[in-house]
Amino acid sequence: QQQVKQSPQSLIVQKGGISIINCAYENTAFDYFPWYQQFPGKGPALLIAIRPDVSEKKEGRFTISFNKSAKQFSLHIMDSQPGDSATYFCAASRMNTGFQKLVFGTGTRLLVSP
Amino acid sequence: NAGVTQTPKFQVLKTGQSMTLQCAQDMNHEYMSWYRQDPGMGLRLIHYSVGAGITDQGEVPNGYNVSRSTTEDFPLRLLSAAPSQTSVYFCASRTQGRAEAFFGQGTRLTVV
């Protein structure tokens, strides 16, 4: 049972375009939603995260939109650059368990063409 | 500051062999965990530890053992490797009260 569903599996975007990756979760006890970025041969690294008390969080070109009622959240990459080409994972966790268990989505491989 | 260091980076095992994947962190983080990454399945939690001497099972613990004798080290043991354990393994650490997990660079394991 996939607790966090992620789509699309892969995405090709032209340089300067907007990349959008979507995730949906089932467990309403989740209250921490990070996005991790992974380059080939490297481990995932935290990109941006949101908690359900806000509907949007922006850091530079990266924005998380959060819809609590729909149990969905998405990552938007504005002005996508070739250096953004990587695999992106959404995840979910619970603050009251000390964030001990991160549940990951299946990943989206993003390719930004020059 | 090395962060989270995993060794080896690559390993080929024969079915039935045993081995230990090493993970060390120099950030004095209380929490450490092991994930496996498989195509189309994301990262799945194998085992985790909230401190020296304390470990617990994650989502896919079968076939793996862990121990945590020091804050710095969290080795993952495969007692009898199976082809289904072919995967990329990541170790992560985190400090208490902070949500961000720091990952190592991974160990690519192939069981033939």
Tell me the pLDDT of chain A (114 aa) as tens digits. 568 999 999 999 999 999 999 999 999 999 999 999 999 999 999 999 999 899 999 999 999 999 999 999 999 999 999 999 999 999 999 877 766 788 999 999 999 999
Q: What is the dihedral of CA B95, B100, B104, B107, to 10 degrees?
A: 110
Interface contacts (A, B; CB < 8 Å) = 61
Q: Give yes or no for B40 touching A (CB within 8 A).
A: yes
Question: Looking at beta carbons, which residues of chain B come within 8 Å of A104?
Answer: 35, 42-44
Instruction: Give the integer Cα–Cα distance in Å for A31 and A93.
Output: 6
